[in-house]
Amino acid sequence: MKFSFFLGVDISKSTLDVTIYCEKDYKKSKHIEVNNDIKGFKEILKWLKGQKINVKEVLFCMEHTGIYGLELFVFLEEENLSYSVVSPLEIKRSIGLNRGKNDKVDSLKIARYCYLHAKELKLSTLPSKNLQQLKLLLNERTRIVKMQTVEKQTMTEFKKISSDSSVNRSMKRQVAFKEQITEIEDEMKNLINKNESLKKNYNLATSVIGIGLINAVVFIVYSNNFEGFTDGRKFACYTGVAPFEYSSGTSIKGKTRVSHLANKKIKTNLTQAAKSAVQYDSELRIYYNRKAKEGKEHGVIMNAIKFKLILRVFATVKRGTPFVKMRHAG
């Protein structure tokens, strides 16, 4: 779709700074500040219509700001308007040298980025309510696991000098954390079982040796149920598992390594999956031992195994049949 107007939105917790990019003179670009709520969203549309702008010809562009932009995205979809949510780092690196920070100026820079890259930008859509709920449950579980880990570490360090009552309270908290984690995981399973598409892809993903409930949910949530990402190599790049060459001419020959510009949450979750795969998948165990004998570092080998697991999961889902263990691997 061809757009005639390009609108940048700088999202904060309470307000939205909105700017329409003016191609002839960007300094004359019109700006408005509204509340970050339904009333404010309607005010933006009224403001656009007041300038005789057809809202259907507007491309809204904003940075990904987590939950602060969620209500706006829902509103735009309900109004059937086009919008694109872009990585803040991508916008930051595209605008060149930047001094200082101002919400009004930031919205102009987003609008300019939107104008310059309109042909390349992909229109965004919200995941289904089930996927949104799965992501919330996943985040909730992560928070509780962190609290559980801190509690265990603290108790290990101070157990000898703590009173019996203090130790008992710590034990009760750990039991409560464990019960809550189990409750969240059960809720995840129930949510998946109620949706045929989620259930099918979940069963296919977990058929891969090493992939359990949490990693399967991670794959489903961050790939938009394998619709946002359909290529395992692209997903590996997104997770920071795929290696990249570092060289230039004849003088610069660096090691091939992974990029730190990645979703490290997924990569961290895959660590346990890789360990389990090495233990229970003879093919990957043979691969690990062979690479170890060649002198490869443990971390490098485990990263390669994570890459293999990602490719296996995506291949299994694409094929539509459960993963089959190689016979010659034992």
For 39-77, how does the pLDDT look when each residue is reduced to its tens digit (9 = 90+)?
Answer: 999 999 999 999 899 999 999 999 888 788 889 999 999
Both 311 and 202 in one domain: the answer is yes
Both 265 and 283 in one domain: the answer is yes
Q: What is the CATH classification number for the domain harbouring 51?
A: 3.30.420.10
Tell me the mean pLDDT in the region 156-179.
89
Q: What is the largest CA-CA distance in the chain?
A: 74
Both 154 and 203 in one domain: the answer is no
Both 188 and 213 in one domain: the answer is no
Both 148 and 71 in one domain: the answer is no
**Dihedral sign of CA atoms 270, 276, 279, 280 in order:** negative
For residue 123, tell me if it sits in a domain. Answer: no
Question: 112-121, 155-164, 203-212, 301-310: which range is least confident on average?
Answer: 155-164
Phi and psi, residue 242, nearest 5°? -70, 130
217 burial level (CB within 10 Å; 0-12, 13-18, 19+): buried
Domain boundary among 88, 116, 144: 116
pLDDT at 98: 61
Q: How many Cβ atoms are within 10 Å of 225's Cβ, its own excluded?
A: 22
Tell me the mean pLDDT in the region 118-140.
90
Side-chain half-sphere of 307: how many Cα atoms within 13 Å?
A: 17
For residue 121, tell me if it sits in a domain. Answer: no
Both 239 and 135 in one domain: the answer is no
Number of domains making up the chain:
3
Side-chain half-sphere of 19: how many Cα atoms within 13 Å?
A: 26
Question: Residue 52 region, left (φ>0) first, then alpha (ψ -120 to 50), else beta?
Answer: left
pLDDT at 194: 93
Give the whole-angstrom CA distance, residue 265 versus residue 70.
Answer: 21
Question: 100-109, 160-169, 265-274, 314-323: which range is least confident on average?
Answer: 100-109
Picking from 248, 242, 245, the residue whose alpha carbon sits closest to that of residue 262 is 242
Give the whole-angstrom CA distance, residue 121 versus residue 220.
Answer: 23
Picking from 40, 22, 23, the residue whose alpha carbon sits closest to that of residue 31 is 22
For residue 228, tell me if it sits in a domain. Answer: yes
For residue 74, tell me if it sits in a domain. Answer: yes
Domain boundary among 116, 150, 171: 116
Both 223 and 182 in one domain: the answer is no
Picking from 180, 22, 227, the residue whose alpha carbon sits closest to that of residue 107 is 22
Both 182 and 241 in one domain: the answer is no
Q: Do the Cβ atoms of 71 and 9 come closer than 8 Å?
A: no
Q: Which domain holds residue 294?
A: 196-330
For residue 152, tell me if it sits in a domain. Answer: yes
pLDDT at 256: 59
pLDDT at 100: 52
Both 309 and 224 in one domain: the answer is yes
C-alpha pair distances (Å), 258 with each of 13, 207, 240: 34, 27, 6
pLDDT at 249: 54
For residue 124, tell me if it sits in a domain. Answer: no
For residue 136, tell me if it sits in a domain. Answer: yes
Picking from 280, 325, 274, 281, the residue whose alpha carbon sits closest to that of residue 301 is 274
Domain boundary among 52, 81, 116: 116
Strand segments, DSSP code E, in the chain are 5-11, 15-20, 30-35, 58-63, 82-86, 243-244, 247-248, 252-253, 257-258
Percent of the chain exceeding pLDDT 90 equals 61
Both 76 and 171 in one domain: the answer is no
Q: Do the Cβ atoms of 150 and 158 come closer than 8 Å?
A: no
Both 246 and 324 in one domain: the answer is yes
Both 208 and 264 in one domain: the answer is yes
Read off the DSSP letter of residue 123: P
CA 295 to chain centre: 34
Tokens 């993963």 appear where? 323
Read off the DSSP letter of residue 23: S
Pairing verdict, β 58-63 and 82-86: parallel
